[in-house]
Amino acid sequence: MAFHECGGNASGEIPISLPKWVLEIGKDNQDIFFTDREGRRNTECLSWGIDKERVLKGRTGIEVCFDFMRSFRMEFNDLFEEGFITAVEIGLGASGELKYPSHPERIGWRYPGIGEFQCYDKYMQQNLRRAAKLRGHSFWARGPDNAGHYNSRPHETGFFCDRGDYDGYYGRFFLHWYAQTLIDHADQVLSLANLAFEGTQVIIKIPAVYWWYKTSSHAAELTAGFYNPTNQDGYSPIFDMLKKHSAAMKFVCYGPQHSAQESDEALADLEGLSWQVMNSAWDRSLAVAAHGTLPCHDRETFIRIIENAKPRNDPDRRHLSFFTYQQLTSVFMEREMCFSELDNFIKCMHGRLSAVEGG
């Protein structure tokens, strides 16, 4: 269920925009879209600020999602009843992943920029004012003014640097509100998804925002909506919510797409983040899957995927429920050796070979 613009950015694909009737509403009311501090609108997906606002021809953002899901279920009822459709993946943010659109390439973000908070449309600001008033500190109803820009590094900002404002009283309040808004959005959509697709497995995607993971603030995760600095576990509340809805978690693994030097400069740690996210989900007995976003052609990468999918030394013998492989590309088709590697990879994933035998 794609409630976001598909394609575009650096994918090379022709983008499929939000429905035209939604974009028409957006011409008169641009606050239905996520907005950064400079007032730039992002039309990839609708702001969660309108989840309960009747601004879409008399419907709220959540109601529009539910109406679409219910219509889909009714239209393809036979396929559900006969067991041809066994699971439904629910889009919960930019790229269909549970995240704010905090790293938009169309606006100029480039890896390893920290990104920017996306909470400056009037509806999100109203939500923030209510939260600050409830806390008893109305002057906290603002976004941080020292959080840098899309391509800043954490140490270049007063908010994300070591001992920065992110860990002060106001910073904790703001980051908790920002992350809780993400969780609340997912909670509401999944409640209705379970109504629309009763008895069908629901899957949601969690992105791997792994750059700056070795810093104290985890700035790139914070702007994406994951309150996961070194002194805070940002994924447990998300997975507690998913468990409530019996949802499966698909972890979207971006790497390895950058050189070792680039990763070192960005203090990145994909393996560390993966370990935290997957074990946190497993600890809550969630079904865990993974999605590789880049094609891989070499044996070393295949083996690394297998070891992450089926950890050999895990005493609890936990493993991925399934793995989504990146679509084949012309580059892949040109390399004959890739077919034998892919064949071994599939056999290893299905348990017919070990990673050692496959090698």
pLDDT tens column, 31-40: 999 999 999 9
Q: How far apart are the first and last CA of the chain?
A: 38
Q: Per-residue pLDDT for 147 more than 90? A: yes
Percent of the chain with pLDDT over 70: 88
Beta pairing, strands 288-292 & 323-324? parallel
Rounded distance between C-alpha atoms, residue 290 and residue 301, angstroms: 15
Q: Per-residue pLDDT for 327 more than 70? A: no
Residue 112: what pLDDT?
96
Q: Residue 15 — very low, low, confident or very high, per pLDDT cuts 50/70/90?
A: confident
**Residue type for 286, please?**
L
pTM for this model (two decimals)? 0.90
* DSSP code for 136: T
Closest CA to 178 of 239, 207, 211, 219: 219
Query: Which alpha helices (DSSP H) does 142-269 contain, by range?
Result: 169-196, 219-224, 236-244, 260-265
**Residue type for 235, please?**
Y
Q: Residue 353 — very low, low, confident or very high, per pLDDT cuts 50/70/90?
A: low
Residue 356: what pLDDT?
45
Residue 189: what pLDDT?
97
Residue 122: what pLDDT?
98
Rounded distance between C-alpha atoms, residue 30 and residue 32, angstroms: 5
Q: How many CA atoms lie within 13 A of 297 on its CB side?
A: 12
Q: Which tokens in the block code for residue 68? A: 């679409």
Higher local confidence (pLDDT), 349 or 122: 122
**Mean pLDDT to the nearest integer, 115-126:** 98
**Mean pLDDT to the nearest integer, 15-24:** 93
Q: Per-residue pLDDT for 195 more than 80? A: yes
**Mean pLDDT to the nearest integer, 251-263:** 67
Rounded distance between C-alpha atoms, residue 175 and residue 117, angstroms: 10
